[in-house]
């Protein structure tokens, strides 16, 4: 009996990353965002509340990953892709609501481009996290990633500003 459980252990370990608590929260965020964007034109306020809940879940999944030592590459990618798609979708909607939408399209390009460059440069330098900016010479990276209060302020401000801009627009 002990032999068979030893044989299953490596396979279960490979599968278990998909069941990490932060990843389950990530799946819930994907479903929440699908529903939120599905109703965004029929119920702006509910959309905004759901969008904000997804943002809160983003903070919780990171906390859970560190708390339960369930940090994984899969989880990091799931988190990053969910964030980028959520932001991109909202900015695309705002670009249609507020004409001309060049400002929102520019913000979309900045969001995707800056994250891609930061992730790419992280992997080129052999670092394991895009938030590791200890040896960076860029003051803005150090201010943003090095100070959780400042980073939290920036994230909360953007997460609140975009849906409020959407809710505040009258047809």
Confidence of residue 54 (pLDDT cuts 50, 70, 90): very high
Degrees, nearest 5: CA angle 94-31-18: 130
For residue 46, pLDDT beyond 70: yes
Burial class (CB in 10 A: 0-12, 13-18, 19+), 119: middle
3-state DSSP assignment of residue 41: coil
In this prediction, residue 49 carries a pLDDT of 94
Could you give the residue numbers annotated as active site? Answer: 83
Q: Within its chain, how far is the Cα of 51 from the centroid?
A: 12
Between residues 9 and 97, which one has the greater pLDDT?
A: 97
How does DSSP classify residue 131?
T
Degrees, nearest 5: CA angle 72-64-157: 100
Task: Give just the sign of the alpha carbon dihedral 19, 24, 30, 32.
Answer: positive
Between residues 155 and 17, which one has the greater pLDDT?
A: 17
- Give me the architecture of the 20-168 domain, per CATH: Up-down Bundle (1.20)
Its pTM surpasses 0.95: no
Rounded CA-CA distance 165/117 in Å is 28
In this prediction, residue 91 carries a pLDDT of 92
Nearest one of 34, 48, 53 to 161, comparing CA atoms? 48
């Amino acid at each position: 009996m002990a032999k068979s459980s030893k044989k299953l252990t490596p396979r279960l370990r490979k599968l278990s990353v998909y069941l990490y608590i932060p990843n389950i929260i990530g799946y819930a965020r994907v479903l929440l965002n699908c529903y939120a964007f599905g109703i965004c034109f029929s119920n702006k306020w509910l959309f905004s509340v759901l969008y904000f809940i997804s943002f809160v879940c983003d903070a919780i999944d990171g906390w859970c990953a560190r708390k339960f030592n369930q940090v994984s590459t899969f989880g990091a990618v799931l988190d990053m892709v969910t964030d980028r798609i959520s932001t991109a979708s909202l900015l695309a909607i705002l670009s249609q609501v507020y004409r001309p939408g060049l400002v929102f399209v520019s913000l979309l390009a900045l969001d995707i481009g800056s994250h891609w460059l930061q992730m790419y440069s992280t992997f080129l330098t052999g670092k394991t996290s895009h938030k590791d900016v200890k040896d960076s010479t860029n003051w803005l990276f150090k201010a943003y990633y090095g100070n959780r209060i400042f980073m939290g302020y920036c994230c909360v401000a953007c997460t609140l500003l975009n849906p409020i801009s959407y809710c505040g627009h009258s047809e």
